[in-house]
Each structure stands twice: as structure tokens, then as C-alpha cells.
Amino acid sequence: MAWPISMRSPATHHPLLTSPSHLLRRPASPTGLRPSRSRSPRRRTMASNAAVAVEQETQAKVSLLRIGTRGSPLALAQAYETRDKLMATHPELAEHGAIEIIIIKTTGDKILNQPLADIGGKGLFTKEIDEALLEGRIDIAVHSMKDVPTYVPDGMILPCNLPREDVRDAFISLTASSLAELPAGSVVGSASLRRQSQILHRYPSLKVENFRGNVQTRLKKLNEGIVHATLLALAGLKRLNMTENLTAILSVEEMLPAIAQGAIGIACRSDDDKMINYLSSLNHEETRLAVACERAFLETLDGSCRTPIAGYACRDNDGNCTFRGLVASPDGTRVLETTQTGLYEYDVMVAMGKDAGKELLSKAGQDFFDW
């Protein structure tokens, strides 16, 4: 379906001074009288400086903003990116100790020996962090947007997306330069049904096995020869400064990205005006609109971790939005796709995402999602 198109150009511990635990008594004077307790100007100045230092240290230990995040290297890199942007934008947050990063372990981090679809699907990497936010244990939550369910708990909002990283997937192998060069029977490690279905659709002679863990864990398994190749999000490799590990970059035509891949989302409580103001200064509107379009598509399909779904919205050369959506069977035997174009505006793009989802639901039929 073609949406209205405009021809607009694209938008472009420090040391703490302390007093001794007790004061040493001065020797008695020759007269036997105790010395005077009055202080010289120099001693009064030293005492005053010590008091100021104590007060400053106490204030520094009370953080103004607490960031909640998972503890993986990539999640921490995203939290640090958020912290650095906040410090650069708000001088009061640049003070020592003003921002605290709090690591929260999620269900998805605790259970690593089962496929994601078998341990609950939606919210595996966000639920515990969102709970900490709503309970007031943290002030903002930093998420990979592709891990965030299409609904958010009451009392929480997602007002901010940081500028999106590269959405493409990276192919990594020690024996081949591309998926096409892998011999028949080769094993590709991936926990993503989206990747699995697209790989098997194009290369049915390959095998895909469940392959979970953080980036470092997956690369270690690859080096140990557990699989012949794996795919990782290029955005993660870039944020970790690990692009030297990639073998090739897959185009979006060969491997359509996950919904909101490469996008960082930051949540806060809906009644916390202070945090909302902080986050509004970081929001990248072009990314927010693209993510909204893709998530509208996902929500319409009501997809779970058992459904291979991919989608990507971007600004084209004319400044408009082009959206591509895909849904597939896990074995790759059926792949349904759609393309939509329209104005790069929130309402239009959300409508595009929904319309694309309805179109593929109609094409798929009632039994398509019964895996």
C-alpha cells in the first residue's frame, strides 16, 4: 500500500579530610592551668575546610539519578552511553557521584540453557528492571528496544530513544566468508527464530542450533568449534568496539532486522517530571518514529518469541518512510513480506505499521502462527 508522500528533504573517592577520632591533650602549663581552648585563625580555617569537605563528600554520595540496566557488557555499554549523554547535557549530572548505575539480573540472564520461547517469551530481559523502576529503586531504565514488549506496565513510559546504531546483522565464521560459502550441513548458532527462518529459507542445506549468551560467550563458543558460524547484531559489536571479529555484514535485503534492532530505549515513571525532562533532551525523534512504526507492526501481528518476525522502517532519499515487514515459519519454508511507503510522520508511520501487520495476517491465514 502506498501512503501519502511528500517531497521534503530529510531532517537532519576523592580523599576525605577527617579529624582524628579524639584530640590529644596538650601538656599542662608551668602554672598547672589548662591551656586555653580558643583557636588560632589558622586552626579555625583548617576546621572549616574539613567541615566543607565532609559536607561535599556526603552530598556526592547521594546520587541524583539511578540508571537500571542488565549486567552484560553490551547492556552496560548502553547504560554508559546514556550516562555520558546525560552528563554532557546537564551540568549537575556531571558532578562526581551524581549518576549511579545499578545492575539488575533478569530472567533472561538467569536461564541460559533453554530457548527463549520455552521460558516465557515477552519481557524476559525487561520485567525485573521495570519492577525496580516502578518500586522507586531506580529512576530510569535503559533497554535494548528489541527486548521491550509492545506493551509497557501502567505507571511507566518510554519517552526517549537514543540515535539508532547500524541495524544490520554481522556474519562471523572462521571457515567461510559468507552464508553462501558454508558447506551443506554446516551449523549456524543462533537463538533468534527471525535469523533461523531467513537462513533456512535461503540456504535450506544449513542447520541452525540454539546459541545463547552474550557476545563474548558466543564468540568463545565459535572459537571452540561448537558451531561453524553465527550471526550477531552489528550495533552490539560497534558499541563494544569489537567489529574486528566480524567476517561480513549482511544487507537488510538478505537478513531483515529484528523490530527496533540497534535502538536504545529509556523508560521512566510516568509521574516523574524531572526524569521526563532529562530524557526529552536526549530523544532522537527520527529513531523514535521508526521504532514506533516497527512496534505497531509487531503489535498488530501479536508476535511472540515463537514467531519469526522482522521489520525495518527508515527514511528514504526523498525524506519519506519506507517500511519492510516479514513473517515466516520457523523452518523457513514460508516467508511472507510487505513493503509500505508514506510520510515520515508519527501518525502516518504507526498506521503504516498496523496496515502492514493486517496485510500479512490476511495472507498468512489462521493456522500460520500455530507452531
Sign of the Cα pseudo-torsion (177, 181, 182, 183, in order): negative
Task: Kindly report the length of the chain.
Answer: 371
Write down the pLDDT at residue 213.
Answer: 77
The tens place of each residue's pLDDT in the chain, 371 residues long, gives: 556 544 343 343 333 223 333 333 344 444 444 444 445 555 545 444 544 444 444 444 568 999 999 999 999 999 999 999 999 999 999 999 999 999 998 776 555 555 555 545 567 779 899 999 999 999 999 999 998 999 899 999 999 999 999 999 999 999 999 999 999 999 999 989 999 999 999 999 999 998 877 788 889 889 999 999 999 999 999 999 999 989 999 999 999 999 999 999 999 999 999 999 999 999 999 999 999 999 999 999 975 557 899 999 999 999 999 999 999 999 999 999 999 999 999 999 999 999 999 999 999 887 777 65
Strand partners for 232 = 170
Say what the pLDDT of residue 31 is: 40
Query: Which domains are delineated in the chain?
Result: 62-161+263-283 (3.40.190.10), 169-249 (3.40.190.10), 284-370 (3.30.160.40)
Q: Which of 130, 139, 147, 355 is catalytic?
A: 147
The 3 state secondary structure assigned to the chain is: CECCCCCCCCCCCCCCCCCCCCCCCCCCCCCCCCCCCCCCHHHHHHHHHHHHHHHHHHHHCCCCEEEEECCCHHHHHHHHHHHHHHHHHCHHHHCCCCEEEEECCCHHHHCCCCCHHHHCCCCCCCHHHHHHHHCCCCCEEEEEHHHCCCCCCCCEEEEEECCCCCCCEEEEECCCCCHHHCCCCCEEECCCHHHHHHHHHHCCCCEEECCCCCHHHHHHHHHCCCCCEEEEEHHHHHHCCCHHHCCEECCCCCCCCCCCCCCEEEEEECCCHHHHHHHHCCCCHHHHHHHHHHHHHHHHHCCCCCCCEEEEEEECCCCCEEEEEEEECCCCCCEEEEEEEECCCHHHHHHHHHHHHHHHHHHHCCCCCCC
Nearest to 269 by CA among 149, 162, 135, 147: 135
In the annotation, is 147 catalytic? yes
- Greatest Cα-to-Cα distance within the chain, rounded to the nearest angstrom: 106
